[in-house]
Amino acid sequence: MSNASSMSNASSMSNASSMSNASSMSNASRMSNASSMSNASSMSNASSMSNASSMSNASSMSNASRMSNASRMSNASRPSGPSGPEPAIHVEHLHRRYGGTVAVDDVSLRVEPGEVVGILGTNGAGKTTTVEMIAGIRRPDRGRVRVLGLDPQRDRARLRQVLGVQLQEATLHAALTVSELIGLYRTFYPDPRPAGELLELVGLEQHRGVRFEMLSGGQQQRLSIAIALVGRPRAVILDELTTGLDPRARRRMWTTVEHLRAEGVTILLVSHAMEEVERLCDRVVLLDGGRVVATDTPAGLVTRTGAMTLDDAFVALTGKELEVAE
């Protein structure tokens, strides 16, 4: 117990240092601005000794700083560049409040086709509200969402055909068996996956005749994911993929996600398990207090904060410990 607390102390200490690292990022960029300024001034100094030199100094300085600003911005916001394909999921300036509480505050994110992106954050960071708005289950107060080129509110029916959703805290008919549930949800789609294939994918072949209420938590979760995949979706939203699963079931779930990735399915997964995000995700969107704090590859987050692990990077960027996934 005391070990655990001292460990968390240690990590929060390293946090403090990595936080200053994070802030030094902007220092670095300012430094690069400074160096280009000095370059510019030394050039203009070399070229002329007239009074006009101060003017040319000024203009070349501002040019240099604008350029580096521009390159920084494009690096941060669109890794694939403006000429790349239309993103599978594109969210811009999403806002949502419940009463007086702002749940989602100006969230923007992109998921490229075939990409696996994780939304990471503590409880109450706005993860679930964000994905529910992407799935068209919740209406945003403000902002724009496009999923596979469709507006989740206007093109609701068409989106349902191509987007698979596994919701947090949504169960299935308790008294129906695994086979009956798969059979039911298969009838909702024009070209459903065969039931056997789905059961094999999530490892429930041996439980066809078991009622949903008699399945273990992990088995229920796996069935819920199988049902998200019934309609051969091109994009899938998985909310709290492995929360409540034992380590073995969790690994099994990860393998399932890797299968999907190999099939080219775009995946947006909500998680608060670092190990999961590190293993599965191409990129991570870090949410804190309803805002995007960072978007990067898992490795990129670690490097940019100067942290040793993704866990430390998370704390560096949010100032919060991530809960241990129960």
Q: Which of 23, 263, 299, 308 binds other proteins (CB under 8 A)?
A: 263
Q: Which of 28, 31, 47, 149 binds other proteins (CB under 8 A)?
A: 149
Q: Tell me: does residue 264 bind other proteins (CB under 8 A).
A: yes
Q: Tell me: does residue 133 bind other proteins (CB under 8 A).
A: no
* Separation CA 90–CA 67 (nearest Å): 27
The amino acid at 262: A
**Closest CB 295 distance from other proteins, rounded Å:** 19
Residue length of the chain:
326
Nearer to other proteins, 170 or 308 (CB): 170
Q: Tell me: does residue 135 bind other proteins (CB under 8 A).
A: yes
Of 34-42, 81-89, 198-206, 309-317: span binding other proteins (CB under 8 A): 81-89
Residues 71-74: contacts with CB under 8 Å, at least 24 apart: 72/29
Q: Which of 1, 49, 157, 324 binds other proteins (CB under 8 A)?
A: 157
Structure tokens at 65: 């700083």
Q: Tell me: does residue 240 bind other proteins (CB under 8 A).
A: no
Residues that bind other proteins (rule: CB under 8 A) add up to a total of 41
Nearer to other proteins, 181 or 322 (CB): 181
Cα Rg for the chain, rounded, in angstroms? 24
The amino acid at 60: S
150: phi > 0 → left, psi -120 to 50 → alpha, else beta; which? beta
Q: Tell me: does residue 239 bind other proteins (CB under 8 A).
A: no
Query: What is the sign, positive or negative, of the torsion defined by CA atoms of 92, 93, 95, 101?
Result: positive
Q: Tell me: does residue 234 bind other proteins (CB under 8 A).
A: yes
Q: Tell me: does residue 160 bind other proteins (CB under 8 A).
A: yes
**Closest CB 88 distance from other proteins, rounded Å:** 7
Of 82-90, 201-209, 290-298, 317-325: span binding other proteins (CB under 8 A): 82-90
Structure tokens at 32: 């690069």
**Closest CB 284 distance from other proteins, rounded Å:** 18
Q: Tell me: does residue 82 bind other proteins (CB under 8 A).
A: no
Nearer to other proteins, 138 or 304 (CB): 138
- The β-bridge partners of 165 are 237
Q: Tell me: does residue 150 bind other proteins (CB under 8 A).
A: yes
Nearer to other proteins, 135 or 202 (CB): 135
Interface pattern 169-208 for other proteins (x via CB under 8 A): xxxxxxxx---x--xxx-xxxx------------------
Q: Tell me: does residue 324 bind other proteins (CB under 8 A).
A: no
- Residue 123's alpha-carbon distances to 29, 91, 204, 281, in angstroms, are 32, 21, 30, 20
Nearer to other proteins, 40 or 163 (CB): 163
**Closest CB 160 distance from other proteins, rounded Å:** 4
Binding site residues, other proteins, CB under 8 A: 85-86, 88, 112-114, 135-137, 148-150, 155, 157-158, 160-162, 165, 167, 169-176, 180, 183-185, 187-190, 231, 234, 263-264, 266
